[in-house]
């Protein structure tokens, strides 16, 4: 035998039973949730692929660390463990803990942005851009064109287009660009990595123009794995070495520990400059908590410090990204249109290609996510027109090139059998795709609308146009 399967590098010590539902219950649940998977009760979900954020399983070492929480208001020993872990693995001298990633984005945006400024980056992320806009900046996407093409096999679709970046800086003036907002990996592009060479070039360009580079390090470990696998000359380096090197080409980072770092809550802002860190430390007190806990319990900081160490282990990251690839490969083999290459944290279905009969104004990705839930209880997330929101100046819907449904894989939570069940359901829905109806808003909130918006199917009783008829057939057969 020449091939050998891989298996998860952990065994299961505690299990959490999941409730099974039938189709009728799911039809009711999604209707009650306004066809928005964010508004479903988790009890009504079978396999939860809404997000990889805060949904990972902690290790026995992390749980043991929770018992070592030093819940002092100031100067908790867990803060110093976390500070050490961030310095050792990410290399930022100054650590400001926050309750999660957007807490760090908020503080950073407030200390660096002046109204009228411009921030450029490799595609937007929802909360990151929201904080930049709230602080008065305009965000500009300067990612390579391939990132907007779900079929492009470019190995580093997270790269910045340097010509686009330089033209933008010339146009608005470097003095109005406080920093570049660079993500590793790029969530909205499909979990696609940036290359080390590109980040180096971006950093050199930015510094030549007096502009800072701020990394969104949320999934930088996953990015480091792709660099090791795909970038010339990187094969013999460890993921930990590459991670450190990535961060070297930035002036600071915002971090959601809820992803790479294997915790259920937590984040941080890391900075190199002492004066800037002093400003951030002062502001964090107003919005999050004292600068040695930033909205976290001591036990949460301990779990994150341990999670950082575990996250860079080669066996861990290989199996984590391997599981995502396993699901993606099954779908590609069945001919389901997905974003290629398969990204780090999720498989992204190309909803625009799957539901060409649903116009973009009827939110094909939102509809596809609802249909998948009704089919099997698998919960996915819209990443398309709804997530993109409205232009703050014109109020028009922003229609991004990518209209995607994200099947996001939590770390160390599901087995390959769960991936098989998920793939079978996606393939089934793909086969009956003509029956999926579009959606229209019944409620649209002002900020980050995808979280709380409600919808109804256009011209149909349910998300499957002929749901009533199909049920009658099923009943007749039974
Ligand atoms: N940056 C990226 C790239 C993210 O994916 C997220 C969160 C954040 C920042 C914000 O971090 O949630 O801790 O405040 N992404 C989640 C997701 C919500 O489902 O992709 P947070």
Kindly report the CATH number assigned to the domain that includes residue 110.
Answer: 3.40.640.10
Q: Could you tell me if 214 and 321 lie in one domain?
A: no
User: Strand (E) positions, 334-376?
Assistant: 346-350
Average pLDDT over residues 261-269: 98
Burial 22-49, CB ≥16 within 10 A → b, else e: eeeebbebbbebbbbbbbbeeebbbbbb
Q: Are 452 and 445 in contact (CB under 8 A)?
A: yes
Q: Which region holds residue 294: left if phi is over 0, alpha if psi is between -120 and 50, else beta?
A: left
Q: Could you tell me the pLDDT band of residue 472, with boundaries at 50, 70 and 90? A: low
288 in contact with ligand 1, CB cutoff 6 A: no
With vertex at residue 138, the alpha carbon angle to CA 352 and CA 36, rounded to the nearest 5 degrees, is 35
* pLDDT tens digits along 339-397: 999 999 999 999 999 999 999 999 999 999 999 999 999 999 999 999 999 998 899 99
Selection from 370, 387, 383 nearest residue 339 by Cα: 383
What whole-number distance in Å separates Cα of residue 305 and Cα of residue 95? 12
Residue bearing the CA closest to ligand 1, atom 21: 101
Q: Could you tell me if 48 and 103 lie in one domain?
A: no
The pLDDT score that the predictor gives to residue 209 is 98
The pLDDT score that the predictor gives to residue 3 is 80
The answer, yes or no, to whether residue 477 has pLDDT greater than 70, is: no
Average pLDDT over residues 67-86: 98
Instruction: Look at residue 43 and tell me if it is in a domain.
Output: yes
Q: Could you tell me if 330 and 261 lie in one domain?
A: no
* pLDDT tens digits along 288-299: 999 999 999 999
> What is the extent of the structural domain holding 348?
23-52+314-477
Which of 249, 282, 311 is where one domain is finished?
311
Q: Could you tell me the pLDDT band of residue 224, with boundaries at 50, 70 and 90? A: very high
SS3 assignment, position 370: helix
Out of 35, 79, 90, 125, which one is annotated catalytic?
125
Residue to probe by mutation, ligand 1, list 49, 255, 259, 369, most atoms within 8 Å of CB: 259
Say which CATH number the domain at 418 has. 3.90.1150.10
Which of 296, 311, 326 is where one domain is finished?
311
Burial (CB count <10 Å: 0-12, 13-18, 19+), residue 56 = buried
51 in contact with ligand 1, CB cutoff 6 A: yes
Average pLDDT over residues 234-258: 98
Query: What is the CA 429 to chain-centroid distance, rounded?
Result: 24
DSSP conformation class of 446: S
The answer, yes or no, to whether residue 28 has pLDDT greater than 90, is: yes
Q: Could you tell me if 220 and 247 lie in one domain?
A: yes
- Angle at which helices 298-311 and 77-89 cross, to 10°: 20
Kindly give, in sequence order, each residue whose CB lies less than 8 Å from that of residue 286, ignoring residues fewer than 6 positions away.
none
Q: Could you tell me if 247 and 340 lie in one domain?
A: no
* pLDDT tens digits along 131-144: 999 999 999 999 99
Q: Could you tell me the pLDDT band of residue 284, with boundaries at 50, 70 and 90? A: very high
Q: What is the position in ligand 1's atom list of the atom closest to the CA of 267?
A: 13
* pLDDT tens digits along 92-127: 999 999 999 999 999 999 999 999 999 999 999 999
Q: Are 135 and 214 in contact (CB under 8 A)?
A: no
Residue bearing the CA closest to ligand 1, atom 11: 101
Is 477 an annotated catalytic residue? no
Choose the weakest-confidence range: 65-79, 234-248, 381-395: 381-395
């Amino acid at each position: 035998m020449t091939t050998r399967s891989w298996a998860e590098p952990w065994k299961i010590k505690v299990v959490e039973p999941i409730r099974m539902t039938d189709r009728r219950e799911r039809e009711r649940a999604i209707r009650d949730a306004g066809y928005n998977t964010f508004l479903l009760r988790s009890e009504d979900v079978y396999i939860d692929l809404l997000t990889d954020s805060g949904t990972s399983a902690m290790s026995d070492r992390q749980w043991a660390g929770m018992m070592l929480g030093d819940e002092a208001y100031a100067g908790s020993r867990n803060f110093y463990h976390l500070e050490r872990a961030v310095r050792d693995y990410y290399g930022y001298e100054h650590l400001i803990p926050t309750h999660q990633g957007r807490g760090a984005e908020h503080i950073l945006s407030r200390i660096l942005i002046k109204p009228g400024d411009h921030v450029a980056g490799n595609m937007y992320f929802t909360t990151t851009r929201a904080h930049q806009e709230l602080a008065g900046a305009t965000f500009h996407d300067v990612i390579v064109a391939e990132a907007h093409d779900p079929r492009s096999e470019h190995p580093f679709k997270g790269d910045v287009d340097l010509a686009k970046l330089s033209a933008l800086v010339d146009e608005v003036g470097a003095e109005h660009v406080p920093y570049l907002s660079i993500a590793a990996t790029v969530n909205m592009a499909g979990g696609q990595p940036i290359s080390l060479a590109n980040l180096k070039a971006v950093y050199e360009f930015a510094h030549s123009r007096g502009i800072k580079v701020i990394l969104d390090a949320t999934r930088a470990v996953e990015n480091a794995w792709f660099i090791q696998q795909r970038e010339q000359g990187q094969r013999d380096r460890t993921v930990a070495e590459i991670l450190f090197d990535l961060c070297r080409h930035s002036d600071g980072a915002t971090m959601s520990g809820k992803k790479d770092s294997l915790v259920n809550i937590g984040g941080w802002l890391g900075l190199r400059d002492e004066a800037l860190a002093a400003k951030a430390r002062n502001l964090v007190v107003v919005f999050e908590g004292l600068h040695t806990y930033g909205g976290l319990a001591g036990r949460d900081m301990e779990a994150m410090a341990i999670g950082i160490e575990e996250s860079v282990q080669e066996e861990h990251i290989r199996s984590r990204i391997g599981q995502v690839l396993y699901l993606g490969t099954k779908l590609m083999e069945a001919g389901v249109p997905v974003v290629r290459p398969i990204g780090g944290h999720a498989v992204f279905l190309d909803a625009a290609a799957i539901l060409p009969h649903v116009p973009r104004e009827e939110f094909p990705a939102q509809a596809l996510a609802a249909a998948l839930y009704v089919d099997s209880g698998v919960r996915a997330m819209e990443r398309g027109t709804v997530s993109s929101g409205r232009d703050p100046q014109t109020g028009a819907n922003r229609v991004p090139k990518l209209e995607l449904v994200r099947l996001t894989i939590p770390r160390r939570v599901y087995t390959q059998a769960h991936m098989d069940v998920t793939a079978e359901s996606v393939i089934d829905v793909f086969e009956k795709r003509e029956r999926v109806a579009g959606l229209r808003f019944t409620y649209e909130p002002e900020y980050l609308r995808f979280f709380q918006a409600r919808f109804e199917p256009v011209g149909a009783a349910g998300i499957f146009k002929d749901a009533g008829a199909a049920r009658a057939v099923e009943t007749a057969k039974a």
